[in-house]
């Protein structure tokens, strides 16, 4: 697989900062280093920073060796000092509080890239909007990356593609050039809104698919939820002004299929545990935390409600997560909905 920027001259290597030392953050730092840009990872825990400096992150990337040009620190402002690229990859609901101390600390020409997938509870803001507010940055300096990007597979060197979206095509191309490798192929896009909505809502749909699997239902049921889930994502995106083509691409269908189908998906696994009868608290304990889809589901539904968009699968996930309905009740409610044509904006049949 040839990288997008393989035929383009690379800009001189300049240090990057990655805010977040989990699997995806560490994997992306490794990608940057492989593409020629040294990366400093900000880790909250000193012992994790020390391990990354020694060349591994066994908790999140077991068996993977990190390049010497990937280092770590617990000083978040030191991490971003002098960085030309700042990558944010922390839980969506804590992004604002984590990033706020960096306000005014970034270089004037630094680009901030969001690898986060969610909608902020209480505000309904996408992650690029949260970054803009928290760091007081114009949208022109913010990019987002989203796609079928399961960290374990990328770290193992398996070929994959992604989407780098920015309002300015030149910014998207710059970020793509910095992370392109022989096995990681970034495409560019200017539909930031659509790309971010895909990333946020697919986590909710993956929970629904996991619940379906946990109930013992087969591939027909899972395919139905995936397909109708894509309709919900598309319906919301169009209502907010996104490009419809985005939803058939890597950030839309690509990421949805990967997240809903893979046992590596935290959201799908979390949903499966709910479907098997665990409570949210029990599933969280078994998963070492609540999946992003469960945290963002209410925010996504509130956003849809505010714009008059019908999202029954999302509403069902919210009902289960918040304890307002059982899995069986949600299943019965979805199957008893009025019949309708298949289109995104189809009305119920008379």
**Residue 222 counted as an annotated binding residue:** no
Whether 202 has a binding-site annotation, put simply, is yes
Q: Angle, to 10 degrees, between the axis of helix 23-34 and the axis of helix 169-179? A: 90
| Residue 290, annotated as binding a ligand | yes
Residue 42 labelled as part of a binding site = no
SS3 content of the chain, % helix, strand, coil (to 5): 50, 10, 35
170 known ligand binder: no
Q: How many CA atoms lie within 13 A of 332 on its CB side?
A: 5
CB 96 within 8 A of CB 65: no
Contact by Cβ (8 Å): 340, 348? yes
Compute the distance between CA of residue 259 and CA of residue 257 in angstroms, rounded to an integer.
Answer: 6
Is 267 annotated to bind ligand?
yes
User: Residue 112 in contact with residue 143, Cβ under 8 Å?
Assistant: yes
Query: Is 23 annotated as contributing to ligand binding?
Result: yes
43 appears as a binding residue in the annotation: no
**87 in a labelled binding site:** no
Q: Is 292 annotated as contributing to ligand binding?
A: yes
Q: Is 277 annotated as a binding residue?
A: no
Query: Is 126 assigned a ligand-binding role in the annotation?
Result: no
* 202 is an active site residue: yes
Residue 212 neighbours by CB under 8 Å, 6+ apart: 221, 222, 225, 271, 275
Q: How far apart are CA 69 and CA 36, in angstroms?
A: 9
Catalytic residue among 202, 222, 295, 340: 202
- 340 known ligand binder: no
Q: What is the C-alpha to C-alpha distance for residues 60 and 28, in angstroms, rounded to an integer?
A: 13
Alpha carbon distances (Å) from 176 to 154, 171, 200, 265: 16, 9, 21, 24
Give the annotated binding-site residues: 20-25, 44-45, 60, 117, 147, 151, 202, 255, 265-267, 290, 292
Give the annotated binding-site residues for NAD(+): 20-25, 151, 266
Give the annotated binding-site residues for NADPH: 24, 44-45, 60, 117, 151, 266, 290, 292
Cite the active site residues: 202
Give the annotated binding-site residues for sn-glycerol 3-phosphate: 117, 147, 202, 255, 265-267
């Amino acid at each position: 697989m040839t990288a997008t920027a393989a035929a383009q001259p690379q800009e001189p290597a300049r240090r990057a900062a990655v805010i977040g030392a989990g699997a995806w953050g560490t994997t992306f730092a490794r990608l940057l280093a492989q593409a020629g840009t040294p990366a400093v990872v900000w880790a909250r825990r000193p012992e994790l920073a020390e391990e990354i400096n020694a060349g591994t992150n066994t908790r999140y990337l077991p068996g993977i060796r990190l390049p010497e040009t990937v280092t770590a620190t617990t000083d978040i402002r030191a991490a971003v000092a002098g960085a030309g690229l700042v990558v944010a990859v922390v839980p969506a609901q804590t992004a604002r509080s984590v990033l706020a101390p960096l306000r005014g600390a970034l270089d004037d020409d630094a680009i901030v890239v969001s690898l986060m997938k969610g909608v902020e509870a209480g505000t309904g803001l996408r992650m690029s909007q949260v970054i803009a507010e928290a760091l007081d940055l114009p949208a022109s300096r913010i990019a987002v990356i989203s796609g079928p990007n399961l960290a374990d597979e990328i770290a193992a060197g398996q070929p994959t593609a992604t989407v780098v979206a920015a309002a300015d095509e030149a910014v998207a191309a710059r970020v793509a050039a910095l992370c392109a490798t022989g096995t990681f192929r970034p495409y560019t896009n200017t539909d930031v809104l659509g790309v971010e909505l895909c990333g946020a809502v697919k986590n909710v749909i993956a929970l629904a698919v996991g619940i379906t699997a946990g109930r013992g239902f087969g591939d027909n049921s899972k395919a139905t939820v995936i397909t109708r889930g894509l309709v919900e994502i598309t319906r919301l995106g169009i209502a907010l002004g996104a490009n419809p083509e985005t939803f058939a691409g890597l950030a839309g269908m690509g990421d949805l299929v990967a997240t809903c189908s893979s046992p590596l998906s935290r959201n799908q696994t979390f949903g499966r545990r709910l479907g098997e009868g665990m409570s949210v608290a029990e599933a969280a304990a078994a998963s070492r935390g609540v999946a992003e889809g469960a945290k963002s589901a209410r925010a996504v539904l509130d956003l849809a409600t505010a714009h008059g968009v019908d999202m029954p699968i999302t509403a069902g996930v919210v009902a289960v997560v918040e304890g307002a309905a059982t899995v069986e009740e949600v299943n019965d409610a979805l199957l008893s909905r009025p019949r309708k044509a298949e289109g995104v904006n189809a009305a119920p049949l008379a």
